Structure 1
Amino acid sequence: MAIWTLHPLLRGKAEIRDCAGRLALTVKRKTVRLALSASTMLTACPVSQALAQDQNAGGIGTFSSSEMVGFALVIGAISATLLSALWLVRQRNSIEAESQEMRSALSDANQRISRYQALIADKNRRIVIWDNSTDRPEQLGQLPLETGAPTAETDFLAFGRWLKPASAADLDTAIERLRFNAQSFDLIVETYRDEVLEVQGRVSGGRAFARFVALNNLRAELAELKIEKARLSTAIQTFESLLESVEQPVWQRDAQGQLVWVNQAYSDAVEALTPDQVVHEGREILGTIAREKIRATVTPESPFHETVSTVVHGNRTFYSVVDTKTPTGSCGMAIDVTREEALREELARTLKSHAETLDHLATPVAIFDGERRLQFYNQAFQQLWGLDLGFLESRPDHGELLDRLRSAGKLPEQLSWKSWKENILAVYRSIDTETALWHLPNGQTLRVIASAHPQGGATWVFENLTEQVDLETRYNTLVKVQGETIDHLSEGVAVFGPDGRIRLSNPAFRALWGVTEAEAAPGTHIRAIEAACAPSYDKPDGWRAFGKMITSFEDERPSSQGTIELLSGLVLDYAVIPLPNAQTMLTFVNITDGVRAERALLEKNEALRKADELKNDFVQHVSYELRSPLTNIIGFTDLLKSEAMGPLNQRQAEYVDHISTSSAVLLTIVNDILDLATVDAGIMRLNYSEIDLTDLLDDVSMQMTDRLQEGGVTLDIIAPNQLGQIIADQQRLKQILIKILTNAVNFSPEGGTVVLKCWREGADFVFSVTDTGCGIPEDLLPSVFQRFSSSTKGGKKSGAGLGLSIVQSFVHLHKGTVAINSVPDQGTTVLCRIPTGTIVQSVAAE
């Protein structure tokens, strides 16, 4: 029974009781009024009063006409009184009958109210009634205990204690609107025991009612379905919003394969204004063949997942398509993998290019995969070990490869082959690069570098150190010979390092100065040497001057020589000679008498000549032998930068860049030293040829592009359209131009301009290079062409100080002239004149 039908019954109970009370009071009032009316009439009648008086007198007489009239009136009044009494009796009986009927109706109403109260008090529902006259509501009925609803009235109204937060919040809001805004509601709420209740809110007769009903199985299941439907609707809306916001096209099709829904990304891909237009027009993002393939292969258990090519906005696009079958049709998503496909192709091309590069390297390289099988090898690897190509192409295991090399007698002999082999193969489980030296039976010495890959596998590099070991052996022998030679010289020789500590000294030096071998031991500071030599020579301008020259930090270290006389009477001819690596050699010759002085002088000259030859030989040998390792270092540095060797972290990348830059600088210095050594040895020969000066300038400007961009400098070339031709050594002339321009760029400020001006004066080719740098002080101008004369003031980079020296040597070889003009803080101009030569002529350095 609905709650709004109970309210009139509850209110009718009170109304019936009020009606019965009012009726009884009305009957009593009418009876009293009738009695009063009768007594009044009898008391007020004159006839009655007269008869009463006569009767009281006890006499009987005749009656006059007036008396008869009065008597008649009395009789009429009595009759009227009797009639009124009879009417009142009948009226009273009628009232009593009505009262009895109302009592019966009241009894029936009470019985109905009792039945309704019993019905309301059922344990499956509870009613809360709010009256405007009171804040405390009236509660009827109970809810089952398994719902978790409290029985106490105060606890029941604390909905947050037994209802879930969302349900309690919705119910509080609905009841507040019901009481104050008369808004009815129907809610389904959940308790903490996961029970479902139905709550109905209504307003009737100025009162607010809320009925809580514990649903039976069917209704509870229906309520749960409603809640689940609401939850699923919310989830569907959430997923649709998510799919609308993603950048990947998403679609849904019906059983016939027609589009029923697409997201905005799909609409943008097919160039439609809205998704509805796409569905209406049936625009497809995939081709017909792709759609037919999807329809033929997709099943509920096996979704379609492949990369499909299509055209989007006029460009070829690759999508990774995922399409799955549903009971009502299908749905799918397309992920743009165009960039990944391009990267995959680029990686394949890069790997192929790296493989071709490695194949042309002279250093043997072999790459093994995660299963330790040979994946790549270059020609140098095959030639080093002399292995059959068929065996290498079968991708042998690394252990199998080592066994075959051992059987062929190509690996070093080991006491325990098994342990050595396990140690070699342990690199696949290591995270660091392993390096070892293999001395092969054929006399070769290999440096084996094994680098494990992060994804598995390893790269093996076999560097042939045979020539390097031979060079080191010869170098050590040369050093020993040098030491023996110095030890047997009759002149005193001492070599000091840049820190002022003695490196070596010969017995003649110790004998001349009267110092012991312990006092002149290697590592002794020059101050201690000075103190030990003080008894023989105590002049303040002696050893202190030597110490100042030896420990000087000046870029230019000129040699010095002179004669000193010891306290013992010996006269020594000394020389301070700067050596490479900032070392300094002191020589002392005893010239006490003429013969010994002459012999000492000859020995000294011979020793100096041999030392110079030894220096040149040493420079040439070291320079030539350094070029090959430097080339390998540069090659392997470029290889480490490539993606084929695996990614490098930021610090490793910085280290590799430093190695590459330093190696290039060192290679340039070595080449310059070789050129200077060749010039000094007098074996430099110019290769004269006919040179087109315009092409030469174009070639030079192209080679200077990177240096100009790095220094932020602009190069302006001012030259006639036709400079003509000149006969000269093209390579050396190009070196002259590049070194002068490089020096100008180095000392030019960022944003500055270097001007190269060229012209012809007769058959001579004349050019000048002008920069806007800091200039050169006047006192340094005479030394700018000296070797190892380098000033870093105002320059972006510091060098070895060989550039202008090489320029002067090459210009002089061409029988030309070079001059430099500089103004501090304004710039420097270098002017060169190169006369034309003849092809048949060969010019050597003096």
Structure 2
Amino acid sequence: MILSQTMLVLIGLLLAAWAVAAVWVMVSARVRMKKAESAMRSGRRLARMVEESPTIPLLVRADGRIEAAPKLAKWLGLDQVPQYLTELGQADGGDGGIPQLQLGELIAAVRRTQKTGAPFRMVVTPAGSRRSLSLRGHLADPQVSPGGAALVWVFDFSESEGELVRLREEASGARADFVALVGLIEAAPMPMWFRDRQGRLRLVNRAYVTAVQGESAEAVVAAGTELVEVIDGLSAAQIALQAAERHTPIERMVAATIGGQRRTHRISDLPLGEEGVAGYAVDVEDMEELARSFRAFRDAQRSMLDQLSAGVAQFDAGRQLVFANQPFLRIFGLKPAILLDPQPFERLLDMARDGGRVPEVRDFPAWRRERAGWFRHSAAQEEAWTLADGTHLRVVAQPMPDGGLMLIAEDQTEQLRLSASRDTLLRTRAATFDSLFESIGVFSPDGKMQLWNRRFAQDWGLDADFLDTHPKVDVLLERIGARLKRPVQSKQVGDVIRAATLDRVQTSGRVVLADGRTLEFAGVPLPDGNGLLTVLDITDSQKAEAALRERNAALTEADAVKTRFLANMSYEFRTPLTSIGGFAELLEAGIGGDLTPQGHEYVAAILTSVQRLGEQIETVLDLSQSEAGLLPLAEEEIELMPFVTKVVEERVHAIRDGGLTLDLRGDRGAGRVKGDRRRLARAIGHLVDNAIAATPRGGRILVDLTPTKQGPRVVISDNGAGMDTATLARAMQGLKPSADGAGFERRQGLGLPLARQLIEAHGGTLELLSEPGQGTAAIVNLP
């Protein structure tokens, strides 16, 4: 019983101890739970702060696994934070992740930090993003991660980087602008300088150094060499101080000696606040010279305008008259004194209206306001004014760039009269063309037909409507070719037109139409550059020409038959004549018996007749052979003086019987010729015989042989009755007046024609000179 109570006590004590222990455990657990909850809240708060902070920690363990906040994946453009560092790289062809090159540098830096503990810094830019991330890595604390892990802090400094880039760009631009400005000032062709507040030179450019002939900019600044000398007791520095005190730029025109030349410059001093005063000098000598040249040009222009026939007046932007030449004053009836007191444009129109030099209009004030509106136009205005006295004026209003106006007035009265006269002449020309028997067409150099007459359309068989279109040559030739017997001949017409218009050469041609008509055409270049095509219908003349050719052929054949007949008959006459002469000589010699005195007379008469008939036959034979071109000539040396003397001596009896006087002149220096002695003697003998026959009793015959540069000359003259020009021409042809006086017949003697042909056959010439009552002279020129 006692044991069981003790056991119960022990069990109670044990249960009490378990209850106390349970309470303590529960209290302890509650405390720990509160601490855990507080730690968890603190952890979440710290995690939130890390997530919200601009810096994200990246823990890289020794095996390459990483731990980082999900925010890092967003910065890198990834869906989630990968397990290993190598998985932070950019996927193939995709956006997000660290580029492979930068990722390789990061892995190498992390491994170096894990091995050596050396920190590193680098910047990466995720692919496809403008975000800039700064990575700062060092060895992680063992409490954070034991085992040699690397802790990398990732900073997003995109805004700071952009600001830095912008500042760097601005600084670089400012530096470049400053360098460019300094270079521009240094390279400026005009002298430039800078002064401090005390007016001392601090900076000059190269042009300034060259202008003052200094050694360098530093030497010029140190010496204080001024570009402009003292003017009116004020130096350049004093003028610059005045500009600084007034805070106003000062410009002045001064003369400075630069490069040994005295030139005009515009000096400008520009205050630059508290820094000092800048200055520059602009060479305006060329501008001044240009201004002087402009004034000289304006004076020359106005002098030239005074020489024009057109009236010219200039108005300024205020509509005041500034210049008017003499023709303008004359056209509008203005006095020269108006140039001394310039008048407004409207007042000038009023004065012209008072003189009747403007058109008569119903509402003159409105008309004047419209003309005053010319000043507001940007383009030239042109009008035709017809005055009350019949004068026609062409008025042109040309606006000027300065707002003024140039008014040009041209008197076209005479020009209009000439135009009317020209129209009349053109109508007269058209009427004249239509009245011609020739076809006429005028073509321009581009081949276009300009003018034609009615005959042109009729000859070529063209329609008037077609010609009214002024066709080109090619189109016209197509129509003409269709009407030709040989269409290809249309090209010949085109060649003639082109030669007249383009080559400026006169050519001609002839075509036959399909209807049998023959047209002859010619192209003539005209002075105005066009070409004239004249066409003439020569069908009738062609027919007449063909008939004449046939008749001429018949006459030629008849003449040839006649020549052959005469040659043959002369030969046949010569043979029996020789026989007759031979028998007569036998009878004269007494072969047939003694003759009575009367018989001897008969035989002498027979021999004389035979000799004369033989000469006539020889003459006819030579003439016929010469006309036929078959005259044979011997080639021998002939000394002229003895030769001519012998020919004259053979006719002494005829000269003595005629009671004539012979005068033979010449010497052996007359020279020699080559020819046929017998035929040349016959030619000169015929001329002497004609002189003997034409000279009355008691007359005188002159035979003169003289040498010339061209060859020997034989002159045979007489003082007979002479001949007029017509009779002399007929004599050379062997003609004489008929018995009834109504015509002409062939002379019985053929001496002159034969003499001319024989002399020409020897290469010489025969010329007859004769005057009625003065005699006749035959001049023979031998080669």
Same fold (TM over 0.5): no
TM-score normalised by the chain length of structure 2: 0.41
Structure of greater Rg: 2
| Higher normalized contact order (CA 8 Å, seq sep 6+, divided by chain length) | 1
